[in-house]
A and B are shown apart, each in its own frame.
Chain A
Amino acid sequence: MAFGAQPLTLPTWRSRWAGTIPGLAVIALLLAVLAAGLWALLSVATPARTLRLDAYVGGVVAFSLLQGTLSAVLSVGLAVPVARALFRRGDFPLRTLLVRLMGLPMVVPTIVGVIAIVVLFGRQGWLNQAWGALGLGGRIDIYGLHGILLAHLFFNLPFAARLILSGLATIPQAQWRQASQLGLSGWQVLRWIEYPVLREVIPGILGIVFLLCFTSFAIVLALGGGPPNATLEVAIYQALRFEFDVTRAALLAGIQLLLCLGAYAAILALGRPVESDLAATAAVRRPDADAITARIVDTVAIGLALLLLLGPLLALASRIAGGPLVDVLASGDLWAATARSLAVGTAAGLLSLVAGWGILTAARALRQVHGRPGLARAAELAGSMILVVPPMVLGAGLFLAVRGWIDPFAAGLLLVVLVNAGMGLPFMIRILGPALDRAGRRYGRLSESLGLRRWHRLVYADWPEVRASAGLALALVICLSFGDFGVIALFGSSDTATLPFLLYERMGAYRMDEAAVIAGWLLALCVLLFVAVERLVGGRERA
């Protein structure tokens, strides 16, 4: 027998640690970018000025906390009956469609949701027209705290409902069989079976939704109605964009960062991690499903959720149909903005995928080869650091960090790509991580045994296993970046306008018909992009 084709001695470090080097380099780079941004902020914020918390700053902090808390409590509180209804109506024929619809706000760009709400509830909106037609006095005003809360409900109630639904799906089948045998009532089912799960998952969901609403930018900017209703994120934007008050921006960013760190620490400490696993939401037969009160409650809950979700989108569709469709679609501005958005979205998505892949393969090697699960978790947490550094804070920091060398407005789109790629990393880590770990557990030893490394391991072992998850994560990050109206508001101009920026410009100029058409175009492209990327990259299997 012949043996000896392969070399028998390789340096030990090369074979054992090589897999972690690119990922650790990505983490170092990420932390360096974050540190550079934060350092730039701190260095301009002289202590004498930063410590002066005037009434304006106090008001901004108070309003940020108030709207974040109210939004979170309302979204999660109302999501509980919706999730229970979807869970209890396991035999409802449209249940799967409904659950999928609940995922729609994930791909609807925030600015599109905002204009959809304005079209329904605004001064010229459906509701006010109906109000007037009925001869009722006064008008509904969407601008202010209630408008912000409504928009946050539109985005976060379905999101929270899906997470709660996933939590309810973890209740073992045996408990439902027991409940059926014992003939438990709806109240008893809630108290003894559902409540223990809800108590575990809801604190974490409340924390996530609070963080999302607390750092909300586009909604507050468009629906806040002015400075009295500004959040920290909007105040940073105003300080940098209009007042050029870098010190105030630094102070606000510092406060924002501290509060986000506190909220994130609370999320980590609260309850068990929340997973959105739609595969786990299979229907179960419940003993309380047939009671008449349960039927009424569920119908009302699902009906109101659908109204909240579809009402604004249908109003937007109607406005688009009656709008200057051809004129807007024929405009050069729209196509230029579309091209920029596509470039930003694709670049941010790919950058995020490459960086996320590096971090996750390093974490996997630390966990599965080196037996260091703590270090692996630390690597994943480092990759998700962006969660505690809001994009506007990072954007402001990078703005200050690069302004000594280049014109930040000229390099605006590059900074937008960078920040969006960073914002996508937590999604990459959350979606891609479990699939890469699974590939490692299934084929790690086989790959090692066959000497499959780097490119060959990627082609033969990892990619086929993680392809579906990679497609989903990439589609999500590309869509989020494509429709993002965050940092672009800081750096954007007419010359570098992306689609969301163009849409906001039209809204600001009260050209609502044009804005509605642009919103429809943006939404359609977002959905198309999502489906195309998920299919092309992810293949036929769904993650």
Chain B
Amino acid sequence: MNAPEPRDGREGVTLQGVRYSYEAMQMVFDLRLAAGSVTAVLGPSGAGKSTLLNLVAGFDRPDAGTIAILGRDMAGVPPGARPVTSVFQEGNLFPHLPVWRNVALGITRRRRLGPEESRRLDEALSRVGLTALRQRLPSELSGGERQRVALARALVRQRPVLLLDEPFAALDPGLRARMLDLVFALQAERDLTVLLVSHQPGELMGRGIDVIFLDEGEVLYHGPMAALRRSAAAPAVARYLGD
């Protein structure tokens, strides 16, 4: 299947001939994501959604092919040095560190922050509405607050690509919608390239985003969300949605 061209010509994330095998499954990815775009990754469990994000983040290495971010080849670049930041479903925070320290780790590993670092930290905490909770430990926060801390850290890291691996799956529907609103607002403010794994396609409708539909490690569809049900992948999508 053909991937859509980046709409404004700027390259965000490109996977070219990427192959990755996991147990008996052989995955193949050929994708081009425009810089500043939001792309949802959909598909049944075990389809390879998280693997796709792990390959981009550098947690897994492809057996073959190249991954480029902002036009730069990522071969041999460790996860911490890539221009991406990830938010997972769980395990985003160190439980023994207070909110501010968890966020500040995105800026520096030193114990003391300089004036500019403090300003960035305060700005990020304020943007996600956590200024008042900065001294709390993760165990003293709700699920939604914990994920907002993770988003604040993603902000202070100032990486152009944001990878979200079902970060809001454990939240109730109302809170999930508000968190998605926050992500879209941050994306628009900072011109982020967002790759978002989700099991709730209904919540992404009407946001004008692209979608990648995966099944058994293969990209069956990559294009506007609105056209997904009319694409060649429609039967697989119908099975996935239980229609």
Contacts and interface: CB of A to CB of B under 8 A. Distances in A.
A7 B81 contact: yes
A137 interface: no
Contacts of A449: 57, 59, 79-80, 85-86
B159 to A, nearest CB: 6
Interface in B68-110: 70, 72, 75-83, 85-86, 88, 91-92, 94-97, 105-106, 109
Interface stretch (A174-182, A323-331, A380-388, A440-448): A440-448
Contacts of A448: 58-59, 78-80
Nearest to A467: B96
B80 A461 contact: no
Nearest to A451: B80
A2 B156 CA distance: 11
Contacts of A2: 158
Contacts of A494: none
A3 interface: yes
B96 to A, nearest CB: 4
A404 interface: no
A-B complex: 9 closest residue pairs judged by Cβ atoms: A451-B80, A15-B78, A12-B76, A448-B79, A464-B96, A6-B81, A456-B109, A3-B83, A449-B86
A74 B200 CA distance: 62
A451 B79 contact: yes
29 contacts: A1-B158, A1-B191, A3-B83, A3-B158, A3-B159, A8-B82, A9-B76, A10-B78, A10-B81, A12-B76, A15-B76, A15-B78, A442-B91, A443-B94, A445-B59, A445-B79, A445-B88, A446-B94, A450-B105, A450-B106, A451-B78, A451-B80, A451-B81, A452-B80, A452-B105, A461-B94, A464-B94, A464-B95, A464-B96
Nearest to B79: A448
A93 interface: no
B190 interface: yes
A1 B81 contact: no
A456 B111 CA distance: 11
Nearest to B93: A446
Interface string B135-148: 00000000000000
Contacts of A456: 109
Nearest to B91: A442
B127 to A, nearest CB: 14
Interface string B154-180: 000011100000000000000000000
Contacts of A15: 76, 78
Contacts of B58: 448
Contacts of A464: 94-96
Interface in B205-222: none
Interface string A427-460: 0000000000000001101101111110010001
A6 B80 contact: yes
Contacts of B80: 6, 448-453
Contact of A9 (B59, B77, B94, B190): B77
Grouping DSSP codes into helix (H, G, I), strand (E, B) and loop, the B interface class, with mixed when no group exceeds half, is loop
Interface in A459-515: 460-461, 464
A11 interface: yes
A460 B160 CA distance: 25
Interface string B45-71: 000000000000111000000000010
Nearest to A441: B91
B64 to A, nearest CB: 15
B158 A11 contact: no
Nearest to A14: B78
B97 A460 contact: yes
Contact of B81 (A8, A446, A452): A8
A109 to B, nearest CB: 35
A456 B108 CA distance: 11
Given A7-B81, A10-B81, A456-B109, A446 B76 contact: no
Contacts of B86: 445, 449
Contacts of A446: 88, 91-92, 94
A443 B77 contact: no
Interface string A303-332: 000000000000000000000000000000
A452 B76 CA distance: 17
Interface in A1-30: 1-3, 6-12, 15
